[in-house]
Amino acid sequence: MPRSHHFKAKHLIAAMAVQSIDKFLERFSPPDGEDYFRALWGGLGLDLPEEERVGSDGLSVMSRELKGGHSALILTLPEPQERNEAYFLAALQPQPGVGLVVGLERSLDPMTQEPMTALVGWSTQGRFNCGKSPQPDLASFILEVEELLA
C-alpha cells in the first residue's frame, strides 16, 4: 500500500494540473515554485498521523524543454518506498488550456511480482496506464514523456 502522504500529494498535484494548467504552471514554476511545492507537501501531511507523514527530502521542481516543442514542469517527489508512489510528475500543456500529467511510479510486475516502474498519466478523462518503464532516473523519464507526446 502506498503511504497516505505520498499518495494524497500525487493525486492532488495531478488534479490541480489537469483542472487548471495555467494556474498550476504559474504556482509551481521556478523560481518560487519549489517553495510552493514544499509548503503544499508539508500542509498535506498535517492531518495525517506522524507515522504516515513523509518528509520533504528530495522534493524539487524544474522546467524542461522537450522534443517536439513541448515544455514540461517536472516535479521530483521523495523517494518512493511502496507500490503506486511516484518518482516524478511532469505537468504538460499539449494544447492551450489543456493539462496533462505524466508520472513514473514504483510498481510490481503483475506476472512475476518483481519490482518495476510504470509510466502513468492523468487527463480530463482520468488516470491511464502506459505500461512498464525504464529505471527510475530523470533522463529516462524525460525520454519516455517525449515518446508519449510524439
pLDDT value for 17: 96
Supply the DSSP symbol for 39.
H
Annotated domain spans of the chain = 4-149
Global pTM reads: 0.93
| 3-class DSSP state of 78 | coil
Give 13-29 pLDDT, tens digit per residue: 999 999 999 999 999 99
Cell of 98: 489543456
* pLDDT confidence of residue 120: 95
Q: Averaged over 59-79, what is the pLDDT? A: 94
Q: How far apart are CA 12 and CA 16, in angstroms?
A: 6
Q: What is the pLDDT of residue 61?
A: 97
Spatial CA neighbour of 138 closest among 124, 108, 117, 113: 117
| Confidence at residue 5, expressed as pLDDT on a 0 to 100 scale | 95
Identify the DSSP state of 48. Answer: S
Average pLDDT, the chain: 92
What pLDDT band is residue 133 in, cutting at 50, 70 and 90? confident
Residues 6+ apart with CB under 8 A from 27: 33, 36
Cα distance between residue 5 and residue 53, in whole Å: 6
Q: Rounded mean pLDDT of 84-106?
A: 93
Report d(CA 101, CA 74) in Å as an integer: 10
The label of the residue with cell 517536472 reads: 74
pLDDT at 134 over 80: no
